[in-house]
């Protein structure tokens, strides 16, 4: 591509580079190459005056000096798209990170696409069935919507992600895209290996902006993943499951860049452009009449403060929240979803139906009663409760065990065959437990099964 713009480095401040272009400035969001060997890649973000431009670095600026040559073609950063991306790992520049060759038969598209037109969006509310009982019942995902996955290390977040990818391939004949924003190298390597062992890598594209990379790379890697997802949705008409880990690190990268760009910080030190930047990314996740991009995003909440600006802005885009509990993981309930804290805007009668809604409400009420009675049981024993409370406890304990599930992707660890359970079977099973049909069945018969028929 011909270099139409020629300039020189004026100043370097960490991940920010000021460049002088005496004969005309390149457009904002265009890619520039700097240094003696053009190895430092920049992206124009601010035009300071007629000849001075401020850019963010997408690669390390080590060795870049004042007076070095900067060239640009006026084109923006691009990402490869095509079926040959499946099973591969890429970086923010669309180059393979798995040691393999650049894929053949791929086109390239700009990563700075706008969101889908409102007239093209599908307005109907539809459930994205995962085959995972506890999610489908209590925190159903919206097809073409966004779900937040709240969980720390060791509570089964990666396992849940690989199972969702497995079920996406098996049930929806779609593809999955994993976007690691600020991932540790160790986490990325482990996830790549685990997905290969679980047999789900062949229908997955992985994109990483790692923790050791400049904030510019972490800030733009989400756009690269979305560009790939939009290809499969619009061109291939396939449903896409987009997993983002971690959306907070996208906000954090934007905060770093905002400080370096000299913008005055907003509340609690966040960038003043937090809302628009997050919306620019989130609004590209949508359904068309032919296919949908459904996103599940890991969300870190700083200091467990749900009023933190990063959390409140993220919550405004989510339609469901899945909270993972370390306590439940310690008790052996997998997936370790907190049954009372998880919620979904989809859980309403006109979306899921009156039966599902009524069963989910009664399940949650029964579990809440059990939670309130736990202290009394610990101090005085189950026998001291009233007859109705004892019945509620027995139902709750059976529900807790029924809402566990063996996963396909953990069969080589647990020795249990995985189960994918239809939503109707989940609702029926919980309904029958609430009606005391399994009062005489031992609790352990309901643990780690698929549908309720396996407990008979």
Q: Give catalytic residues, as residue numbers.
A: 157, 183-184
Q: What percent of the residues of the chain are helix, what percent strand, and what percent coil, each to the nearest 5?
A: 40, 20, 40
Please give the Cα distance from 168 to 200 (Å, whole number): 10
Tokens of 347: 């859980």
CA distances from 429 to 53, 229, 351, 388 (A): 63, 35, 20, 21
The answer to whether the CB of 143 falls within 8 A of the CB of 287 is yes
CA distances from 4 to 22, 23, 67 (A): 13, 10, 19
Burial 357-374 (b: 16+ CB within 10 A, else e): bebbeebbebbeebeebe
The residues facing 146 across adjacent strands are: 295
Q: Is the N-terminal amide bond of 273 cis, ω within 30° of 0?
A: no
Token pair 């790549």 is found at: 192
Please give the Cα distance from 247 to 300 (Å, whole number): 8
Please give the Cα distance from 456 to 450 (Å, whole number): 12
Tokens of 404: 């566990």
335: left (phi over 0), alpha (psi -120 to 50) or beta: beta
The answer to whether the CB of 324 falls within 8 A of the CB of 155 is yes
Please give the Cα distance from 190 to 169 (Å, whole number): 21
Which residues are within 8 A (CB) of 48 and not within 5 positions of it... i.e. 6 or more apart? Answer: 18, 54
């Amino acid at each position: 591509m011909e270099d139409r713009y020629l300039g020189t480095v004026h100043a370097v401040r960490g991940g920010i580079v000021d460049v002088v272009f005496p004969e005309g400035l390149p457009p904002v969001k265009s890619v520039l190459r700097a240094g003696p060997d053009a190895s430092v890649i920049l992206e124009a973000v601010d035009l300071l005056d007629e000849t001075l431009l401020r850019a963010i670095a997408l690669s390390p600026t080590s060795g870049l000096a004042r007076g070095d040559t900067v060239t640009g073609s006026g084109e923006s950063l691009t990402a490869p798209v095509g079926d040959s991306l499946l099973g591969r790992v890429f970086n923010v520049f669309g180059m393979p990170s798995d040691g393999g060759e650049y894929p053949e038969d791929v086109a390239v598209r700009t990563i700075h696409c706008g969101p889908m037109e409102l007239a093209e969006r599908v307005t109907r509310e539809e459930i994205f069935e995962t085959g995972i009982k506890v999610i489908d019942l209590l925190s159903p995902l919206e097809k073409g919507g966004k779900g937040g996955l709240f969980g720390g290390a060791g509570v089964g977040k990666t396992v849940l992600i690989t199972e969702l990818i497995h079920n996406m391939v098996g049930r929806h004949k779609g593809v999955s895209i994993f976007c690691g924003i600020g991932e540790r190298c160790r986490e990325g390597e482990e996830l790549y290996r685990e997905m290969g062992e679980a047999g789900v890598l062949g229908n997955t594209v992985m994109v990483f902006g790692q923790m050791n990379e400049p904030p510019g790379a972490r800030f733009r890697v989400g756009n690269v993943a979305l560009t790939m997802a939009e290809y499969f949705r619009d061109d291939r008409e396939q449903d896409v499951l987009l997993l983002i880990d971690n959306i907070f690190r996208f906000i954090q990268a934007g905060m770093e860049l905002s400080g370096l760009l000299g913008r005055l910080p907003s509340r609690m030190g966040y960038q003043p452009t937090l809302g628009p930047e997050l919306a620019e990314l989130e609004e590209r996740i949508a359904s068309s009449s032919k296919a949908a991009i459904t996103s599940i995003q890991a969300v870190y909440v700083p200091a467990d403060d749900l009023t933190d600006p990063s959390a409140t802005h993220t919550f405004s885009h989510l339609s469901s929240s899945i909270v993972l509990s370390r306590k439940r993981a310690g008790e052996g309930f997998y997936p370790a979803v907190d049954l009372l804290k998880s919620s979904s805007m989809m859980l309403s009668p006109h979306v899921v139906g009156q039966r599902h809604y009524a069963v989910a409400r009664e399940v949650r009420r029964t579990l809440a009663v059990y939670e309130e009675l736990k202290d009394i049981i610990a101090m005085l024993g189950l026998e001291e409760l009233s007859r109705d409370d004892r019945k509620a406890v027995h139902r709750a304990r059976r529900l807790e065990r029924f809402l566990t599930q063996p996963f396909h992707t953990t069969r080589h660890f647990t020795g249990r065959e995985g189960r994918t359970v239809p939503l109707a079977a989940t609702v029926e099973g919980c309904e029958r437990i609430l009606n005391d049909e399994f009062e005489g069945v031992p609790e352990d018969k309901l643990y780690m099964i698929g549908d309720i028929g396996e407990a008979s």
